[in-house]
Structure 1
């Protein structure tokens, strides 16, 4: 199931997207927004897979809005202006719909999303940080640390990456068989667990505590 929202300052455009989305299986349009601030608040609490996003909007254009999102969220731009096409695809947009677009054209764009390799089936993580899209191979991750509304991805042989995301959201993007949450503030690759001493996991120069909530699951995994 693709979870999506739509952001456009034109109410009519949002109604059209709602109508089209309701006709497509495995697509759930969870919310529509005509203000960027409301959309951002929603995304911070409820990450989605896809945004239908207008470009020409007050305050900040859609391209800049999308660049400011640190989540691994796909985008289909919906706009009346063809001159933004090159810029749209430079940020890895799935598609670019010129208004007015037909239901068939809308459905074709959504099908492209369905055909994109799911993150859990890939061997890398895509995440936005510092206005860039980072491709991080799973086997380079040493551990992931939670910091309120942010995460810090500690890498084996590269600089640490700090991104806006919840621990729950980032865990959903990682392969379950390779990563485990051991504490409210720590996710680690299973292969990195070498030594456990007094409810602490030693990884390189890090000592990661095992939270009481996660203790049974950690023991179960380690005893496999």
Structure 2
């Protein structure tokens, strides 16, 4: 299921998106917004997979608004202006819909999201942080640590990427075969669970506790 919101300062445009979205299987339009501040507050609390986003708005330009979002969220721009197409695709927009667009054109754009979502889950994690979209190879991830409303991805080159996301949301973007949650604050690669001492997993310099809730799943992997 693709969880989406729509942001446009024109109510009629939002109603059209709402109508179209209701006709597409596996697309859930969670909320519609006509102010950026309301959309921003929602995104701080609830991660989504996709934003239908207008560009020309009274306050911040839609492209700048998208750049300011810390969570990994795909975007389809919906605008009456063709001038921004190059800028939109330079930040990896899934599609660029020129108003007025048909239901078939809308559906085609959503199908691209579905395709990209499948591809993202194959061998790399796509996540937005520091105003950039990062594509991180699964093999480069040492572990993922939960920090309140943020997660910190520790990489093999000793660098870190910090992004706004819940542990539940980030786990959904990872391969179930390659990653496991071992504690409410830690996700680790399955093939890194080699040494367990006193209910702690040792991965390089890291000593990661195994939470009681996750012990059974970890031990099942160890005993395979």
- 1:100 partner SS: coil
User: Structure 1 length as normaliser, TM-score?
Assistant: 0.94
The alpha-carbon deviation at position 158 of structure 1 amounts to 4.7
Counterparts of 1:19 and 1:8, CA distance in 2: 15
The alpha-carbon deviation at position 99 of structure 1 amounts to 1.3
The aligned residue for residue 38 of structure 2 is 38
The alpha-carbon deviation at position 117 of structure 1 amounts to 4.7
Counterparts of 1:174 and 1:36, CA distance in 2: 30
Counterparts of 2:193 and 2:96, CA distance in 1: 44
Where does 1:63-78 land on structure 2 (aligned, <5 Å)? 63-78=63-78
Counterparts of 1:158 and 1:221, CA distance in 2: 26
Is the deviation greater in 34-43 or in 157-166? 34-43
**Is 2:30 the counterpart of 1:17?**
no
- 1:170 partner SS: helix
The answer to whether the Cα contact below 8 Å between 2:121 and 2:173 also exists between their aligned partners in 1 is: no
Cα distance change, pair 90–39 in 1 and its aligned pair in 2 (3 A): same
Where does 1:1-224 land on structure 2 (aligned, <5 Å)? 1-118=1-118, 121-224=121-224
- 1:71 partner SS: coil
What are the Cα deviations for residues 147-188 of structure 1, in whole angstroms up to 9, with x where unaligned? 111111000125111111111110000011111111111100
User: Structure 2 length as normaliser, TM-score?
Assistant: 0.94
- 2:145 partner SS: strand
What are the Cα deviations for residues 174-217 of structure 1, in whole angstroms up to 9, with x where unaligned? 01111111111110001111211111111111111111121122
Is the deviation greater in 89-98 or in 33-42? 33-42
Is the deviation greater in 163-172 or in 116-125? 116-125
- Number of positions where the alignment pairs a residue of Structure 1 with one of Structure 2: 224
The answer to whether the Cα contact below 8 Å between 1:54 and 1:78 also exists between their aligned partners in 2 is: yes
Structure 1 segments unaligned to the other structure (5+ residues):
none
The answer to whether the Cα contact below 8 Å between 2:142 and 2:154 also exists between their aligned partners in 1 is: yes
Which 4+ residue blocks in structure 1 deviate beyond 6 angstroms?
A: none
